[in-house]
């Protein structure tokens, strides 16, 4: 037998490979986690499967203390540990919420409690949990305007909508905050500031788990489905894993079971959903590297950028696409242009004498080789346009990183988003090249 070809050698190589993988650093010894464990234990939660750790690439997360098998319960958090609107209404805020008209929203109730408890400091019963929450967030609503201007156009528009929504939420809540003055020595304006509410809003938006909708007379009719889940919310996202997560009405616990296997000392992940990177950035403030759901969106303006301006039927074609829902969610992905994008381009590229065949295009039928080739050529031009734009934006971000050191973390996050989009576009360009060879 040749040296290095036997079973022992294979086992040694596997161990060497595993040992070279990035390892997390256990943080159970840190004072904030010692206090959190005591707090959770007092609320009937104990866990031997997971430990808090810091990992390269993902930061703070949870590490497996033992091998976890498929279908195994990885965490079961008792209802007593969850922060819900029930928690808020049972607290000192309950009387103020109950008498306020019109009834405050569930979101406002949760945000108000978080701000109030954070202000209470050492006096807060929730201090051990509040201590491990992020001090700041990286959702677009928290970014500096000059950084938001560097985002892809579609994401920038959503980020500006998000900021406007939070600002309106703050403005519409100020009268309610004023009603809480009897609870505080300090002026409520100094406690319930915009920055304090923004922190609370981001905490709920990025970390809350879903509960079955409930309805309370003292709260507005908006869905009451959010709960903060201490310790459990340290689990990071991976698009490649699947879990089963829900509140168990029989055990009165929020439970997560894994459908994957985890080795001892690996980071344990959950999946927040099949989201592309722009959605992850908007809602959670991070970008997932090698995200299988990553894509680049094509706007209506770019869709028609390389089509002949003399096409007299263009307005009618655009109207048909709008009526049938083919003007939005047109994307480039790892596998090339999406079926929706190619279908929209095939319809837009129909020659005048073939225009009556538009229904067949929407059904996926091939009209002609000419139509197929023309639509692929336009798709390639759009893809190259995006690649040029992406490279230009990466240069712009790089220059700003040199000039604005205070914004380095925000700019690095934006840079990672553009970098991932460039990878997707390059993959799409290769696919388009292969498709085009069929017509040469």
Task: Judge contact between 114 and 173, C-beta under 8 A.
Answer: no
pLDDT at 1: 45
Residue 225 has φ and ψ, to the nearest 5°, of -125, 0
| DSSP-assigned letter for residue 405 | G
- For the segment 232-279, what is each residue's pLDDT rounded down to a tens digit? 999 999 999 989 999 999 999 999 998 888 999 999 999 999 999 999
pLDDT at 408: 96
Q: Whole-model pTM?
A: 0.90
CA 386 to each of CA 34, 185, 231, 391, 428: distance values in angstroms, whole numbers, following the listed order: 49, 55, 41, 9, 11
- For the segment 219-229, what is each residue's pLDDT rounded down to a tens digit? 999 999 999 99
- Model confidence band, residue 438 (pLDDT cutoffs 50, 70, 90): confident
CATH topology (fold) of 83-228 = set domain protein methyltransferase, domain 1 (3.90.1410)
pLDDT at 381: 97
- Map out the domains of the chain as residue ranges: 83-228, 296-438
pLDDT at 6: 53
168 three-state secondary structure: helix
Task: Judge contact between 103 and 224, C-beta under 8 A.
Answer: no
298 three-state secondary structure: coil
Average pLDDT, the chain: 92
What string of H, E and C letters represents the secondary structure of 258-273? ECCCECCCCEEEECCC
Task: Judge contact between 76 and 255, C-beta under 8 A.
Answer: yes
The C-alpha atoms of residue 404 and residue 84 are separated, in whole angstroms, by 40
pLDDT at 46: 85
- Model confidence band, residue 13 (pLDDT cutoffs 50, 70, 90): very low
Task: Judge contact between 204 and 228, C-beta under 8 A.
Answer: yes
Does the pLDDT at position 436 exceed 60?
yes
As a whole number, mean pLDDT of residues 180-205 equals 98
Does the pLDDT at position 136 exceed 70?
yes
Does the pLDDT at position 10 exceed 50?
no
Strand 336-337 to 331-333 pairing: antiparallel
Nearest to 125 by CA among 189, 199, 35, 190: 35
- For the segment 294-319, what is each residue's pLDDT rounded down to a tens digit? 999 999 999 999 998 788 899 999 99
| DSSP-assigned letter for residue 239 | T
From first CA to last CA, the distance across the chain in angstroms is 51
- Model confidence band, residue 439 (pLDDT cutoffs 50, 70, 90): confident
Does the pLDDT at position 19 exceed 50?
no
The C-alpha atoms of residue 252 and residue 383 are separated, in whole angstroms, by 51
- Model confidence band, residue 22 (pLDDT cutoffs 50, 70, 90): low
pLDDT at 20: 40
């Amino acid at each position: 037998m040749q040296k290095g070809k036997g079973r022992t050698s294979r086992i040694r190589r596997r161990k060497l490979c595993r040992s070279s993988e990035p390892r997390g650093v256990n943080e159970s010894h840190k004072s904030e986690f010692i206090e959190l464990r005591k707090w959770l234990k007092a609320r009937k939660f104990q866990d031997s499967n997971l430990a808090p750790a810091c990992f390269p690439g993902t930061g703070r997360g949870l590490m497996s203390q033992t091998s976890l098998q498929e279908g195994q319960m990885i965490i079961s958090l008792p209802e007593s540990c969850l922060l819900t609107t029930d928690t808020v209404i049972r607290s000192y805020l309950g009387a103020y919420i109950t008498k306020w008209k019109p009834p405050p929203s569930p979101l406002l109730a949760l945000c108000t409690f978080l701000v109030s408890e954070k202000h209470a400091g050492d006096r807060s019963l929730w201090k051990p949990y509040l201590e491990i929450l992020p001090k700041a967030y990286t959702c677009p609503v928290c970014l500096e305007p000059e950084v938001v201007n560097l985002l892809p156009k579609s994401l920038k528009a959503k980020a500006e909508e998000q900021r406007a929504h939070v600002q309106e939420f703050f403005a519409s809540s100020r009268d309610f905050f004023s009603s809480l003055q009897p609870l505080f020595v300090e002026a409520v304006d100094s406690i319930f500031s915009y920055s304090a509410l923004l922190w609370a809003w981001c905490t709920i938006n990025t970390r809350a788990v879903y509960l079955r909708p409930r309805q309370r007379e003292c709260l507005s009719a908006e869905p009451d489905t959010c709960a903060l889940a201490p310790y459990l919310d340290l689990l990071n996202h991976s698009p490649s894993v699947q879990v089963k997560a829900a509140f168990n009405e029989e055990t009165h616990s929020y439970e997560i079971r894994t459908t994957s296997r985890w080795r001892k000392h690996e980071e344990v992940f959950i999946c927040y959903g099949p989201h592309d990177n722009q959605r992850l950035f908007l809602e959670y403030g991070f970008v997932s590297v090698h995200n299988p759901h990553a894509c680049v969106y094509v706007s209506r303006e770019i869709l028609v950028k390389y089509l002949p301006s003399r096409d007299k039927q263009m307005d009618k074609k655009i109207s048909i696409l709008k009526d049938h829902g083919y003007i939005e969610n047109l994307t480039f992905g790892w596998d090339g242009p999406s079926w929706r994008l190619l279908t929209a381009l095939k319809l837009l590229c129909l020659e005048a004498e073939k225009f009556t065949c538009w229904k067949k295009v929407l059904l996926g039928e091939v009209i002609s080789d000419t139509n197929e080739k023309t639509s692929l050529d336009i798709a390639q031009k759009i893809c190259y346009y995006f690649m040029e734009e992406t490279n230009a934006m990466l240069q712009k971000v790089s220059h700003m990183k040199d000039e604005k050191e205070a914004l380095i973390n925000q700019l690095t996050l934006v840079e990672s988003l553009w970098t991932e989009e460039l990878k997707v576009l390059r993959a799409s360009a290769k696919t388009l090249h292969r498709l085009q060879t069929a017509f040469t």
